[in-house]
């Protein structure tokens, strides 16, 4: 048992399922129900974001037509696993996230003027916080006993043109979701030690 297991307030099985034993899957089986798909988001939304902004948008791809369109935009090494995954999610940023200020932070909209006056800052803030939420999304998938296969090997400009032609969303990640199939993991990859990446000042 590691120090992470000893210090965690959740049980060791949960630590393993979400963190210690969880791996990026490359082959999938089974199914993902609508209830599970909803639960993934319902867990994701509770993670903190700047000003409670929640700029992440999730597009679940289920139809054969949409799946074929998405697969065509992926790098060659990612196509087969996405074609066979029970559920695929396109994660994107709402490019006008700050226009919904009264919905996500009612009663305190003073900072909105800062983003209205600085489109580049609004874009960076939205992008950073959507990526933060993507981490929560992956952990939410794992917490349901499913495997996640996040990928950035794709032509995201093509995905945006095909799925978000109005320009209201900017995609940045595709996540395959399902039960891990046989030989889903590949060889274990090393993780940096605490001493390699952490310092106290």
pLDDT at 62: 96
Domain that holds residue 73: 28-178
**In a domain? residue 1:** no
Note whether residue 189 is domain-resident. no
Q: What is the pLDDT of residue 188?
A: 81
CB burial readout 86-125, b (16+ within 10 A) else e: bbbbbbbbbbebbeebeeebeeeeeebeebeeeeeebbeb
Question: Is the dihedral angle over the CA atoms 159, 36, 23, 5 positive or is it negative?
Answer: positive
Residue 142 maps to a domain: yes
Q: Mention every residue, 6+ apart, whose C-beta is less than 8 A from residue 67.
A: 61, 82, 83, 88
CA 20 – CA 100 distance, rounded (Å): 37
CATH number of the domain at 146, please: 3.40.109.10
pLDDT score at 134: 98
Whether 125 is covered by a domain: the verdict is yes
Report how many domains make up the chain.
1
- Check residue 111 and give its pLDDT: 96
The answer to whether residue 187 sits within a structural domain is no
Residue 117 forms part of a structural domain: yes
Q: Which residues of the chain have pLDDT under 70?
A: none
Contact status, residue 114 vs residue 121, Cβ threshold 8 Å: yes
């Amino acid at each position: 048992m590691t120090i992470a297991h000893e210090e965690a307030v959740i049980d060791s099985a949960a630590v393993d399922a979400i963190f210690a034993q969880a791996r990026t899957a490359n082959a999938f089986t089974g199914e993902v129900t609508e209830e599970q798909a909803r639960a993934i988001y319902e867990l994701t939304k509770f993670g903190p974001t700047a000003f409670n902004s929640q700029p992440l948008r999730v597009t679940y791809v289920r139809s054969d037509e949409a799946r074929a369109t998405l697969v065509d935009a992926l790098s060659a090494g990612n196509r087969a696993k996405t074609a066979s995954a029970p559920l695929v999610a396109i994660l994107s940023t709402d490019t006008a996230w700050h226009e919904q200020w009264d919905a996500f932070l009612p009663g305190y909209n003073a900072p909105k003027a800062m983003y209205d006056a600085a489109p580049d800052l609004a874009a960076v803030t939205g992008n950073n916080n959507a990526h933060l939420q993507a981490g929560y999304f992956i952990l939410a998938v794992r917490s349901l006993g499913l495997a996640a296969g996040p990928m950035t090997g794709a032509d995201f400009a093509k995905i945006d043109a095909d799925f978000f032609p109005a320009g209201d969303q900017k995609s940045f990640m595709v996540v395959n979701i399902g039960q891990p199939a046989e030989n889903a993991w590949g060889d274990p990859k090393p993780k940096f030690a605490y001493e390699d990446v952490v310092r106290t000042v």
